[in-house]
Amino acid sequence: MPRSGSTPAGGIPTSSASTGSRYERALPYLLQLDADVITFECASSDGKDLPLFAKHRTDKKIGIGVVNHCNTVVEPPEHVARLIRKALEYIPPERLVITTDCGFGREGLSRRIAYYKCVALVEGTNIVRRELGLPEARVRAADPTLWFESPR
């Protein structure tokens, strides 16, 4: 996403000075796009734009970024789960897609950090799936039976 206050080539502003929201003015236009899923960076803003989805209803799937591509700190799964719970206040679970804020390559994250951020993404999603009674995804990287050294 362009920096706050900028206008991408399409001419749709990406922020609103009145609320500090990056998507407030653009969201109605974005929701008109011929797309099945529209993704939004939410990790870097701690989900401050999520309440906008209460104002703008859509049948599209909404992808929210739950891990930040701009820093090397791996988010704890509980942090990811908290952001997903916040999103579920405004987006129905059947339309919510969990993703990263952006790709990892552009910011130069090492593969190892990107890998563990993805593990945290799945583990955090599994926390919320468990709370909702939904099936969980297996996280082989967190499976103790696959560790090289057994836990003590």
Quick: pLDDT tens for 30-45: 999 999 999 999 999 9
For residue 18, count other CB atoms closer than 10 A to its CB.
Answer: 8
d(CA 108, CA 49): 26
Q: Which residues pair with 52 in a beta bridge?
A: none
pLDDT of residue 4: 40
Query: Can you give the pTM of this predicted structure?
Result: 0.80
Q: Considering the chain, what is the average pLDDT of its residues? A: 84
List of residues 6+ apart from 147 with CB closer than 8 A:
none
Model confidence at 14: pLDDT above 80: no
Burial (0-12, 13-18, 19+ Cβ within 10 Å), 9: exposed
Extract the tokens encoding 118.
């993805």
Lowest mean pLDDT among 17-21, 106-110, 143-147: 17-21
Model confidence at 151: pLDDT above 80: no
Quick: pLDDT tens for 42-93: 999 999 999 999 988 899 999 999 999 888 999 999 999 999 999 999 999 9
